[in-house]
Amino acid sequence: MGINKYEEIAQAAIKLFERKGYHATSVQDIADEVGLQKGSLYHYISSKEELLMKITQQSINGFNRRMEKIIESQVSSKDKLILAIQHHVTYVARNMEMTTVLLREAFSLEPDHHKVIKEETDRYLKLWTTIIDEGVQADEFKPGDSRLIALAILGSANWLHRWYQEGGKMTPEEIGNYFAQIFLEGIKK
């Protein structure tokens, strides 16, 4: 904190965008949060939207980077899926504010910027379907619609940003495990 002012500003923006929403957060709010005058912010940023863009980009990149490593790893498809769920869930839980901004505010980006984020999220989805398709081919998963399955899992895992609270009775890792188990085994006795 303090070393890199841009980072400090981005952190303030993440916090405020999460709490109030992008449009309801004023540049003044961000300036107040970092203790600068409104105008002084513009030494570091070129626009409020640039901040949102950087934040969402950083967020989706974090998801993609982890997922690519999992895909490249030498384990069974089932284990890849378990890892993917665990990683997604813990990443959301450990970056709640940033994830919320990505999931809720990215659509406020200007069309050009939004397109870039959209492409990255599409890529992320594809990485999920790859794992599932491979698992089906390896006879590890039931045949099915891999995109629908991926969307079901991602829905569950993303939803975490709406209810997870640090200090609850389960750790993110435990939640990830549980989610993995649900999707693999189902809840029926």
Partner DNA sequence: AATGAATGAGGTTTCATTCAT
Partner DNA sequence: AATGAATGAAACCTCATTCAT
Name the site residues for a copy of itself (rule: CB under 8 A).
21, 23-24, 78, 104, 107-108, 132, 139-142, 144-145, 148-149, 151-160, 163, 170, 175, 178-179, 182-189
For residue 26, the minimal CB distance to a copy of itself (Å) is 11
Sort residue 88 into left (φ over 0), alpha (ψ -120 to 50) or beta: alpha
Segment near DNA (CB under 7 A), from 31-39, 75-83, 121-129, 179-187? 31-39
Question: Binds 28, which of a copy of itself, DNA, none (CB < 5 to 8 A, cut-off by type)?
Answer: DNA
Structure tokens at 54: 């950087």
Structure tokens at 150: 């991926």
Please report whether residue 4 would count as binding DNA according to CB under 7 A.
no
Please report whether residue 42 would count as binding DNA according to CB under 7 A.
yes
For residue 32, the minimal CB distance to DNA (Å) is 10
Nearest C-alpha neighbor of 173 from the set 186, 185, 184, 160: 160
Q: Kindly tell me which residue out of 1, 3, 46, 139 binds DNA, with binding defined by CB under 7 A.
A: 46
Beta-carbon count within 10 A of 25 CB = 22
Please report whether residue 181 would count as binding DNA according to CB under 7 A.
no
Beta-carbon count within 10 A of 70 CB = 19
Nearer to a copy of itself, 10 or 106 (CB): 106
What is the Cα gyration radius of the chain? Answer: 19
Any idea which residue has 């069309």 for tokens?
111
* Cα separation values, 63 from 16, 24, 124, Å: 22, 27, 7
For residue 162, the minimal CB distance to DNA (Å) is 24
Q: Which residues bind DNA (CB under 7 A)?
A: 5, 24-28, 36-40, 42-44, 46-49
